[in-house]
Chains A and B, each alone.
Chain A
């Protein structure tokens, strides 16, 4: 059991003012350091988060989830984090499962751990269209990065500070999920997957990724390959 103060939970948030407080309230009992990165939301989170023991960083313009994540990670590293966890702001993730992701890191069996909704536990709630998209996306990721994970796009991850220092997310948009895989490969980091539960609520469904964003991601990655 690690000192929770050494764990920094980075939460990128874009227009999540409806649920962010509830999400944070569920996280607070675990006493991790919480870093909310407001990625240029229309409603500022200052008043909503007043007097909560969290850090609030603000992007004046929207960069994208990847950009917000990297900002949060940089901040955590600056504040001497030992473990960094990424967590979604929309309530899809479960605070209690963070512990599960930290175990392989603490046992030094992996440098970065990803949650997966397809590893046996409940994948019954996954909407059919989304399931298909994600299942195909993992092969797409494999094509581009050589790594085949069971869940192509899971925002719940944990990494050691050492791993975080090696990873550089230059993709500001959603393509960061693929980029992080190629960074893992490039730096020869050990990765593991752990089954997690994803809560699909009406709210998070509405905000979820459309099929169109899949195309956008594809082009981002393709162009990234060419220009880097």
Chain B
């Protein structure tokens, strides 16, 4: 096995182990991740096959195909993350607002010492 293959496979295995140790509960997610890991390791060990697929899609090399796919994938992930952030922000706003309204003070009759 070449150096880069060792490196990449270790990376995949590490992510898999880290995921298993942290997120035990979601079985479905784990299966999906394992499938991806399997496919990943396969292509790491036999990179020639990426060229086969790439040629079918009229892309120069397997690596280029992987690159393009990754870009799309990352954009997708970022969009999802952003939507998630928006929802979080909405929830936080709701909490802050509710508290602010409930704790509203009428400064005129305020008995607060300050």
Contact = CB atoms under 8 A, between A and B. Distances in A.
Interface of A: 37, 46-47, 49-61, 63, 67, 70-71, 74-75, 78, 170, 172, 223, 227
Interface in B67-114: 82-83, 86, 89-90, 92-93, 96-97, 99-101, 103-108, 110, 112, 114
A71 B103 CA distance: 12
Contact of A37 (B82, B100, B110, B114): B100
A83 to B, nearest CB: 19
The contact size tier of chain B is 20 to 34
Contact of B100 (A49, A53, A54, A59): A59
A189 B114 CA distance: 43
Contacts of A37: 100
B101 A57 contact: yes
A7 B25 CA distance: 54
B87 to A, nearest CB: 9
Interface of B: 82-83, 86, 89-90, 92-93, 96-97, 99-101, 103-108, 110, 112, 114
Nearest to B108: A53
B96 A59 contact: yes
Contact of B114 (A47, A59, A172, A223): A47
A56 B82 contact: no
A128 B89 CA distance: 35
Given A47-B114, A172-B93, A223-B82, A78 B108 contact: no
A54 B97 contact: no
Contacts of B86: 223, 227
The interface residues of chain B, by DSSP majority, are classed as: helix
11 contacts: A46-B105, A49-B107, A51-B108, A53-B106, A54-B108, A57-B101, A63-B96, A75-B101, A75-B104, A172-B89, A223-B86
B76 to A, nearest CB: 14
Contacts of B114: 46-47, 50
B82 A55 contact: no
B96 A60 contact: yes
Contact of B104 (A56, A63, A172, A223): A56
A97 B38 CA distance: 70
A55 B104 contact: yes
Nearest to A34: B107
Contacts of A61: 92, 96
B75 to A, nearest CB: 13
A57 B107 contact: no
A52 B109 CA distance: 9
